[in-house]
């Protein structure tokens, strides 16, 4: 893999950490998270600080993940598809990692290396027609909209109050059972949808 070290491609990375996938079909799966910096949106319920970050080349990213037990990597953000992930994804795939991406769906997929694609649409400017799962974040009295995206699984995730000074939201970050109960009742009446809860918020992990 001589190319790995010679690559000059830099990625702006907010964080790399090892945890479990907290939501959706793969909930509970141990995974390495590569959180890419920045997002094209500023959702008022966003629970992620995505603005900070450092430039990392592929060798540095590989050094950060090599000691984790899992061979499953989730590209998340922010919005990971703001950056061209092709070279990094190819090298990780060649090294035997399985790759997933969590995106707002407003950018086309740049390559075919993702084994699992989650789209969490925030508006109708969607550039991805098909994925593995759609996840809509909704609050009380809101209705999920998959924007015509074909998927094997459709999830709703309760919108929780957040505290994110970087993007201007001010309430406390906690799991709101009232919203979860609204979502619970919603899926019982609209069986296309399944309920997913943010395991990390419930158990207080990353
Ligand atoms: S699209 Fe996702 S990462 Fe971007 S601001 Fe909205 S919730 Fe946050």
Domain at 145, CATH number: 3.20.20.70
66-107 pLDDT, tens digit per residue, is 999 999 999 999 999 999 999 999 999 999 999 999 999 999
How far is CA 150 from each of CA 20, 22, 131, 134, rounded to the nearest angstrom? 26, 22, 6, 8
Q: Whose CA is nearest to atom 7 of ligand 1?
A: 46
Task: Give yes or no for residue 39 CB within 6 A of ligand 1.
Answer: yes
Query: In sequence order, what are the residues at sequence separation of 6 or more whose Cβ sits closer than 8 angstroms to the Cβ of residue 70?
Result: 18, 29, 30, 31, 32
Report the predicted TM-score, pTM, of the whole model to 2 decimal places.
0.92
Task: Give yes or no for residue 50 CB within 6 A of ligand 1.
Answer: yes
128-169 pLDDT, tens digit per residue, is 999 999 999 999 999 999 999 999 999 999 997 665 555 555
Task: Give yes or no for residue 203 CB within 6 A of ligand 1.
Answer: no
Range of the domain at 88: 2-203
Asked if residues 134 and 159 have their Cβ atoms less than 8 Å apart, the reply is: no
- Please count the structural domains in the chain: 1
The residue whose two tokens read 């769906």 is 105
The residue whose two tokens read 């000059």 is 8
Task: Give yes or no for residue 143 CB within 6 A of ligand 1.
Answer: no
Q: Whose CA is nearest to atom 6 of ligand 1?
A: 43
Task: Give yes or no for residue 82 CB within 6 A of ligand 1.
Answer: no
């Amino acid at each position: 893999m001589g190319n790995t070290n010679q690559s000059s491609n830099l990625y702006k990375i907010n964080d790399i950490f090892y945890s479990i996938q907290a939501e959706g079909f793969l909930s509970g799966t141990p995974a390495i998270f590569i959180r890419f910096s920045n997002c094209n949106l500023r959702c008022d319920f966003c629970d992620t600080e995505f603005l900070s970050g450092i430039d990392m080349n592929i060798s540095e990213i590989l050094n950060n993940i090599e000691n984790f037990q899992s061979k499953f990597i989730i590209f998340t953000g922010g919005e990971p598809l703001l950056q061209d992930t092709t070279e990094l994804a190819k090298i990780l795939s060649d090294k035997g990692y399985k790759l997933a991406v969590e995106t707002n769906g407003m950018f086309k997929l740049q390559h075919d290396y993702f084994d699992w694609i989650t789209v969490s649409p925030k508006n109708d400017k969607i550039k991805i027609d098909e994925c593995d799962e759609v996840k809509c974040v909704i609050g009380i009295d809101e209705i999920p909209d998959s924007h015509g995206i074909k998927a094997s699984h459709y999830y709703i995730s309760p919108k929780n109050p957040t505290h994110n000074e970087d993007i201007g939201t001010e309430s406390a970050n906690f799991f709101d059972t009232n919203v979860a109960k609204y979502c619970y009742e919603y899926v019982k009446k609209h069986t296309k949808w399944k309920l997913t809860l943010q395991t990390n918020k419930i158990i207080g992990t990353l």
